[in-house]
Amino acid sequence: MTKVLESQKVSLKGEIAIPGDKSISHRAVMFGSIAEGKTTVHNFLEGEDCLSTIECFRAMGVEINRTEDVVEINGRGFNGLKEPSQLLDVGNSGTTTRLILGLLAGTDFHSCLIGDDSIAKRPMARVTVPLRLMGAKIDGRENGQYTPLAVRGHALKGITYESPVASAQIKSAILLAGINAEGKTTVKEPHKSRDHTERMLGAFGVEVESDETSASVEGGQTLKGTTVNVPGDISSAAFFLVAGAIVPNSRIRLQNVGLNPTRTGIVDVLDMMNVKYKIEAERVESGEPVGDFVVETSDIKGTEISGDLIPRLIDEIPIIALLATQAEGETIIKDAAELRVKETDRISTVATELNKLGADITPTEDGMIIKGGTPLHGGNIDSHGDHRIGMMLAVASLITSSKVELERPEAISVSYPTFFEHLAKLSR
């Protein structure tokens, strides 16, 4: 599919409510499925990734009912999961694949995971290696490095694992396996990654010990069903934060945005790059801080983004790169080699696609160097099947001098199915 994005010459005004957080929606379904009793999830993200998670647990016999953005899960405990008679299809979702592996490892049945072409290229040894240290029996392409993966459920024992990368998916997979293991499981990481698993396990009645860079659980704990109110996804809001800052004569309000400190690296960058914004109506919902953003057209400045800021904004780097093309001065992004193993190699796809529109981005091994102040022109560009690249390019089209043709825009429904509706609502 190709979507023609006319050079809009618009300003952005008005307000939108940001859809539910992808990371939290996945976890709410997974934890509700292994909990005892009913779990109700409000403001569930109806993106394709989270729907893949629902289908995987339905295939293991869990009763899950969905009416628009409310999901009800009738959990029967971890031992209530049944051996799936079909492949578990994770679609495009790395979070589904990695977190579910941690659960499947400790079952007493056999299961097989399969996903799309992008999933088949994503590294899975980062979870299969530590899970095997716990006793897991996992096999797959290239000795368990890639999907399809087969899991023969097995008794697990707790470990202390030092992860070489700061990754919430690795940490979560090991902690979820740890709940069903004998003894204590600890995960240490080089920088703190998002902590939604730790917070939400607490809400489901599991005791988790955590500090700056480690988290631990004792095995043998059970989850109790609960109610989860999912905050809006700051990673989705980021596209409109940048749109509001770069489109002339704009001022927009983004309601209900999650402000978990492990996710707010983008807010630090707004400050560093001189973006005019305010956070209003700050509150706490279901253990997660939430607020509304007001953002307006800004005189943007270049900056350097590196170190422990990276895990706090890893999914926002494509849209930050676009912001940097409109800044005064250069922006340097480093320590972000993880971008190379996301839905696409995002260092390469960001540079290739934005440079087609006139940007001046030099990819480096672990980041990129972005020259500021480059006017953008029209052209034919491609999401490469990556939702965040698709949305970043659609935002870029708001400031191009002529029309943009975006290939594979349908990828956007992975995390933000109402993205184009929201963009139309704000465009004046």
Q: Are 262 and 192 in contact (CB under 8 A)?
A: yes
- CA-wise closest residue to 428 among 7, 6, 8, 12: 12
Instruction: Note whether 419 and 394 are within 8 A (CB).
Output: yes
Binding to ligand S3P by residue 118, rule CB under 6 A? no
Which C-beta is closer to ligand S3P: that of 23 or that of 397? 23
Q: Is 418 in the site for ligand S3P (CB under 6 A)?
A: no
Least distance between ligand S3P and beta carbon 258 (Å): 12
Residue 169 binding ligand S3P, by CB under 6 A: yes
CB of 397 to ligand S3P, least distance (A): 24
CB closer to ligand S3P, 95 vs 236 = 95
Structure tokens at 275: 């973006």
Among 252, 314, 361, 389, binds ligand S3P (CB under 6 A): 314
- What single string gives the DSSP state of each residue in 66-86? EETTEEEEEEE-GGG----SS
Report residue 134: phi and psi, to 5°: -85, -5
Of the two residues 194 and 199, which places its CB atom closer to ligand S3P in the complex? 194
Closer residue to ligand S3P, CB minimum distance, 175 or 300: 175
Half-sphere exposure of 30 (CA within 13 A, CB side): 29
Of 138 and 314, nearer to ligand S3P (C-beta) is 314
Alpha-carbon distance of 85 to 348, in angstroms, equals: 39
Site for ligand S3P contains 193 (CB under 6 A): yes
Rounded to the nearest whole angstrom, what is the least distance from the CB of residue 95 to ligand S3P in the complex?
4
Indicate if the alpha-carbon torsion angle 111, 114, 119, 125 is positive or negative: positive
| 167 binds ligand S3P per the rule CB under 6 A | yes
Does residue 93 touch ligand S3P according to CB under 6 A? Answer: no
Give the residue, chosen from 46, 189, 288, 315, that forms a contact with ligand S3P under the rule CB under 6 A: 315
Give the active site residue among 49, 195, 292, 315. 315
* End-to-end alpha carbon distance in the chain: 26
Q: Among 324, 264, 268, which residue's Cα sits nearest to residue 300?
A: 324
Contact pattern for ligand S3P over residues 171 through 190, marking x by CB under 6 A: -x------------------
What residues form DSSP beta bridges with 390?
A: none
- Taking the least distance from each CB to ligand S3P, the nearer of 189 and 292 is 189
Which value, to the nearest 10 degrees, does the dihedral of the CA atoms of residues 7, 10, 16, 22 take? 30
Residue 397 makes contact with ligand S3P by CB under 6 A: no
The one among 41, 56, 60, 168 contacting ligand S3P by CB under 6 A: 168
Position with the least CB separation from ligand S3P = 23
Shortest approach of ligand S3P to residue 329 CB, angstroms? 28
User: Positive or negative, the Cα torsion across 114, 120, 122, 125?
Assistant: positive
- How many Cβ atoms from other residues are within 10 Å of residue 26's Cβ? 26
- 139 classed as catalytic: no
Sheet with strand 367-370: strands edge to edge = 304-305, 331-333, 367-370, 361-364
260 binds ligand S3P (CB under 6 A): no
Tally the residues of the chain: 428
Sign of CA dihedral 383, 385, 389, 391: positive
Strand ranges (E), 349-422:
361-364, 367-370, 379-382, 404-407
Interaction between residue 23 and ligand S3P (CB under 6 A): yes
**298 binding ligand S3P? (CB under 6 A):** no
Q: Which stretch binds ligand S3P (CB under 6 A): 101-109, 166-174, 208-216, 368-376?
A: 166-174
Among the listed ranges 80-88, 164-172, 173-181, 379-387, the one in contact with ligand S3P (CB under 6 A) is 164-172
For ligand S3P, the binding residues (CB under 6 A) are 23, 95, 167-169, 172, 193-194, 314-315, 338
By annotation, the residues acting in catalysis are: 315
